[in-house]
Amino acid sequence: MNKRILALPTCLSLSFFSFFTDPQPVNQLSAQEKKEGWKLLFDGKTIKGWHLYNQGQKASVWKVQSGELQCQPNTPGSTLEHGDLVTDQEFKNFDLKFDWKISKEGNSGVFINVVEKKENPTAWTSGPEYQLLEPSHYDYKADPKKRAGCLYGFAPQKNEAVTKPVGQWNHSEIKQINGKIEFYLNGVLTAQQNLNSSEWKQMIQQSNFRNYPNFSKATKGRIGLQDWMKGIAFRNIKVKEL
């Protein structure tokens, strides 16, 4: 396990979310975390502090159940709104930690530096993505740049990290200081990039993201959770501004 180097769609049964339990206290901050400046972005009971990207406060496929923030995009007969969920607050220099579990063949992501504008039709056209992927998904073998923990579409895992089996919780961390980012998956450094560098700008121009003129133009913005065809759940979402 690497030490940190920076100081700074099929229908998913709802039983996926309810079958696995964890006896440890969740969605809470310890006294030490509070002293260090950590804040919860999810209180375990409501979606307070979040809204649908470019849609505001609407009833959606994002639900709170059993202390988990769940995306249930395939609920039979549902007419609820779909869309990525983003924070009301914007962040620039931060340390973000969260737990996640995903359905079989699931595909999702966490976006950073999201700038919410009508000309940016989705969160991913604005902010870079920390990829979340279940290993049985087609993309796992087809494209190593799309595995969990990757800076989606740009580079394979910097160090190999193992994703937990379906229904078990993974732990992830995203750090950003002055545009320099680090991604961790289950304690392993999986991505590292300077979003202000000429190298990064060249990488964008060599990718499909070059078709979205506002992609990664900002190093400050909202944090987003992706709604993408299959179920995913989050908990213990906490942030410390640096």
The answer for residues whose C-beta is within 8 angstroms of residue 33's C-beta and 6 or more apart is 238
Under 8 Å between Cβ of 89 and 49: yes
Backbone CA torsion sign across 185, 189, 86, 73: negative
Distances (CA, A) of 95 to 72, 148, 215: 27, 18, 22
Residues 119-169 have pLDDT tens digits of 999 999 999 999 999 999 999 999 999 999 999 999 999 999 999 999 999
Structure pTM? Answer: 0.88
Domain 41-241 coded CATH 3.50.50.60:
no
Phi and psi torsions of 97, nearest 5°: -125, 145
Tell me the backbone φ, ψ of residue 103, rounded to 5 degrees.
-75, 165
Contacts of 184 (CB under 8 A, 6+ apart): 4, 149, 172, 173, 174, 175, 190
Contact (Cβ atoms closer than 8 angstroms) between residue 174 and residue 135: no
What pLDDT score was predicted for residue 11?
39
Residue type (1 letter), 70? Q
Task: Sketch the domain layout of the chain as residue ranges.
Answer: 41-241
Residues of the chain with pLDDT under 50: 1-23
Question: What per-residue confidence (pLDDT) applies to 77?
Answer: 57
